[in-house]
Structure 1
Amino acid sequence: MRDAYQSDLRHLVEDLAEISEMVHAALTDASTALLDGDLGLAERVIAADSHIDERQVQLDEKIVELLARQSPVASDLRLMVAGLRMSSTLERMGDLAAHIAIVARRRHPEIAVPSQHTEDFRRFAELALASIKDATSVIRNNDLALAAQVEKRDDEIDDLQSDVYRAIAREDSFTTAQIVDLTLLARFYERLGDHAVSLVRRVGFLVTGDSIDSRVALTDVDDF
């Protein structure tokens, strides 16, 4: 009976990592669709978001069942409670990838990102994808050194967002629609970085048992 319980806990961690990999794949495709104007790829990302939602629901149901059946304490309880929060974070990240794809679809056949900002958004995608990949490894391996890299990379995303916003403010040739798109897209990538930080901080909570201070910036992210 105890062996089955421990197996369930290991599968919980693996489920979180697999959902994180789904988010990584969604953002990869969404970013490609955005920068290449690929309508078919954008549609695929939007349609696939429901699969991430389904995996979250399945995982949450599994955790609730374990909580009811096992009455866990200490580290096992921390894992289950953190798992519920992390699955919600991952679902939001999937939504953000879908939002990026929606912008790409809305502007098709044009490319939503003006050429002068192509490299900025390519960099946004590189940073966010690297953070999600590292967060997946942190979930699987409890690698807190790698978690620190996710936090450092988030600072780069924040700086890039500020640079893009300043550039938009100086630009007088963009249409209102382009300004709205660029502002939202930069925000979506910035939120993805924040969510990756939230994930690795929750793993830190699991490893150390130290409480998470909700007053600290980026500890948890409840909006887009």
Structure 2
Amino acid sequence: MSAGSLGGRSRLDEQLERMTADFLSMQDTLAGQLRALQAAFAQGDTSVREEVERLDRDIGAANARIEGEALHLLARQSPVAHDLKLTLLILQSTPDLERAGDYAKHVARRLSALRAGTAGHPSEFAQALALLLQMATTLRAASSPMNAALAHEVRALDDQVDALYDRAVEQVLAGRPDAALADTLEASHAWRAAERLGDHLVNVAQRTERLLARPAPSDAPA
């Protein structure tokens, strides 16, 4: 291999390493948002919004860096095979992580309404937050080193979040005579944000599974 080829490979590896580090950092920061929400909800602390929004800005900054690195890499390095698949996985997945961070902000703005239990019992929303945090940490573990079984587990956890969301919707439809309409709407929006946050984590998990999937054996004779 020529010196030029070695230099190109080295630059490619460095760019992939930076992109992967930012990709993992986004997941760690999202988990930080969920931990802050979980603690604030348990303690009745509604001042967590500022911290969640600060962490969301960190997620946005990492996403911007990844976009720049990925576009430069695709234009200048011409990655092939696994390197290309990894680059596309990260480039396609960071918008999902950014949207998940946005949904964490939506939840942070509505904690008081959630604790009132106007849409789903407060203990069930606490359970949903715990599941979302487990999804985020499991996805992080599935991303480095990449692990298809852990990525699949993220999808299974999301089924539990969806079940909790469906029960909350049923309670809204049934109605509570003592529930203030404004609080009910706010709590409903928070439940929807939590459910959508989980969906975005599932999107990343599914891409990870596809990247790791073995090609089907050919039926053609050797």
TM-score after normalising by structure 1: 0.84
Q: Which amino acid aligns with 2:208?
A: V
Q: Give the conservation status (yes or no) of the 8 Å contact 1:53–1:91.
A: yes
Q: Does 1:76 align with 2:78?
A: no
Could you tell me how far apart the structure 2 residues matched to 1:23 and 1:50 are? Answer: 11
Aligned-residue CA RMSD (Å): 1.9
Q: Shift of residue 35 of structure 1?
A: 4.4
3-state SS of 2:13 partner: helix
Matched, 1:14 2:18: no
The whole-number CA distance in structure 2 between the counterparts of 1:49 and 1:143 is 26
Q: Does 1:182 align with 2:184?
A: no
Higher-Rg structure is 2
Cα distance change, pair 209–102 in 1 and its aligned pair in 2 (3 A): farther
One of 200, 203, 211 as aligned partner of 1:206:
211
Q: Is the 8 A contact 2:165 2:191 kept in 1?
A: yes
Matched with 2:220 is: none
User: Which amino acid letter does the alignment assign opposite residue 183 of structure 1?
Assistant: S
SS of aligned partner of 2:177: coil
Distance 1:129 1:117 in 2: 19
Count of residue correspondences: 205
Alpha-carbon contact 2:114-2:190 (below 8 Å) kept: no
Change (3 A) 1:183 1:39: closer
Structure 1 residue 102 displacement after superposition: 1.7
The answer to whether the 8 Å contact 1:135/1:196 transfers is yes
1:89 aligns with 2:96: yes
TM-score (norm 2): 0.85
Distance 1:79 1:167 in 2: 43
In structure 1, how many angstroms separate the alpha carbons of the residues matched to 2:19 and 2:50?
A: 30
Aligned: 1:123 with 2:127 = yes
Please give the alpha-carbon distance, in whole angstroms, between the structure 1 residues aligned to 2:169 and 2:140.
30
Q: Which residue of 1 aligns with 2:171?
A: 167
What runs of 5+ residues in structure 2 fail to find an aligned partner? Answer: 1-6, 216-222
Give 5+ residue unaligned stretches, structure 1.
211-224
Q: Which moved more, 1:89-98 or 1:66-75?
A: 66-75
Distance 1:123 1:35 in 2: 11
Cα distance in 1 for partners of 2:185, 2:46 equals 20
Does the alignment pair 1:153 with 2:144? no
The answer to whether the 8 A contact 1:78-1:206 is kept is yes
1:54 to 54, 57, 61: 61
On the 8 A contact 1:135/1:150 being kept in 2, the answer is yes
